[in-house]
Amino acid sequence: MKYLTPLSFAVSALLFLTIPSAAQPGKVEIFTSIDGRFTIALPEKPISYAHITPERYTNEFGGEYTWQLKDATISVKFAQMDQEGYFSELAYPNLLQEFKERVLKGLKAKEISEKSFELGRYRARTFDFESSTIQGQGRVFMKGVRYYVLTGTTGKGTPGTLDLIAKIFDTFTVTKAQPRLSDELRKKIDATEAAVLPQETVAKKERSDAYDDNLKGPVKTVTEESESLSGLGVDYEKSIDSITEFNKRGDKIKEIEFSGNGIPRDVVSYGYIDGVRAQKSTPVNFTNRNLFTVVGKNDPVSPKAPDPRYDVKFIYKYVNGKISELQTIGNNGIRGTRRVFSYNENVREDLTYDGNDIPNQKSHYLLDEKGNEIERISFEVRPNQPKRDAQRYPVKYNSYDEMGNWTERTTYEIVIENGKQTERPMYKEFRTITYYL
């Protein structure tokens, strides 16, 4: 069983206002979140949405919607881990308890009652709470890589409102992911006013982005999809991961990044700023979307004000035509991760350091004669983590296109079953590649 990824959970401060509902009397509105894959009987337009991005030591992404009704404030938070950080079912009781306690701590409330139940394949817990000024109900749902937290609050002593909150929560349902990019999502992407970075510079990076990614031929676009094979059920159907556009030289121009549920998250523009390769991201979501960054206690002080022209710069080094180092630098001058690459026959080593030059990740990639990865070996190199055996992930290729680029591959994990070592499929990856004529 894989180790649990550390949880990061921020409870937003709620405003307990009493304002009229925008809904018409007698009309039941249904809110549907494509991003969160859920429906609930609430107004079609929440008052706010906060986006959750992967933080420094976690790999969660999602969002939180908030509604202010006549006598209650309701929020629905959804979040999802990546495939290597899914929740063990044996840990569900402890995790549900942890989520509940953090809600109570954030609201400075005490629990009145609770009970466990299930919603389809989701384990869940509902609990009532109160403080000196408020009362309310919370519900937590968890399955595989996803969890939901519903919170409803009202003023102390408001008659009938707790029953109303419970009835609203009873309408909450989880829907399936969209397997392909829908027309609705394409319109969202097209309506995004993404930044455009300059493509010309005196000295371009030594090799093209396509070359660094081992792409062959005059690549124009690459669409990547993935499908879990690890038994997580409805949490990971086949979904789109990214769409990348290249210029004729082979450098990236634009990339549309998707959340793990196949929903567009950001449009990333690539180019050159002051002669250095750079990128800038534009979110694809509600117009009132609020992005935030979690800052740790030991983070360095910014040496300069952020440069609005870009988000990140990339400093490349090459040895004998192969990338040997990639340093990222934020638009405030703070150094980010640094990746160091070394090569030995058919093995490529990838060692990543954080912004303080502390080892963070290390992998060995075994390559075939075409330069494709046929096995990834992961090592624990973080100084404060217990040492563990290297983890092996074989990769097998199912198909190639006419240019020799792979179009489908499967990644496996090495496990012990009935006392024997075996390869268990984890996930499939798919690529659709178009080329310049």
Distance CA 328, CA 335 (A): 6
Domain boundaries, the chain: 31-174, 183-435
Query: What pLDDT score was predicted for residue 86?
Result: 53
More confident residue, 435 or 47: 435
How does pLDDT run across 350-392, given as a tens digit for each residue? 999 998 999 999 999 999 999 999 999 999 998 988 888 889 9
User: Each residue of 92-127: pLDDT tens digit?
Assistant: 788 888 889 989 999 999 999 999 999 988 889 999
φ, ψ of residue 234 in degrees (nearest 5) = -70, -10
Contact 135, 165 (CB under 8 A): no
Distance CA 15, CA 384 (A): 40
Name the DSSP letter for residue 103: H
CATH number of 183-435: 2.40.160
Give one DSSP letter per residue of 188-208, joined into a string.
Answer: HHHT----------SS--SS-
Structure token pair of residue 197? 């970075």
Reported as a pLDDT band with limits 50, 70 and 90, residue 210 is very high
Cβ(121)–Cβ(114) below 8 Å: no
Averaged pLDDT for residues 398-414: 94
Q: Looking at the domain that runs over 31-174, which CATH code has it been given?
A: 3.40.1000.10
Residue type, 134: I
Query: Which residue in the block uniquely carries the two structure tokens 């308890």?
Result: 97
According to the model, what pLDDT value does residue 59 have? Answer: 57
Q: What is the phi/psi pair of residue 169, to 5°?
A: -65, -30
CB 61 within 8 A of CB 77: no
Torsion of CA 296, 35, 194, 55, to 10 degrees: 10
Number of other residues whose CB lies within 10 A of the CB of residue 164 = 17
Q: Give the pTM.
A: 0.63
114/112 Cα distance (integer angstroms): 7
Cβ neighbourhood burial of 220 (10 Å; 0-12, 13-18, 19+): middle
User: Which of 212-226, 288-302, 335-349 bottoms out in mean pLDDT, i.e. has the lowest?
Assistant: 288-302
Which H or E element spans position 7? Answer: none
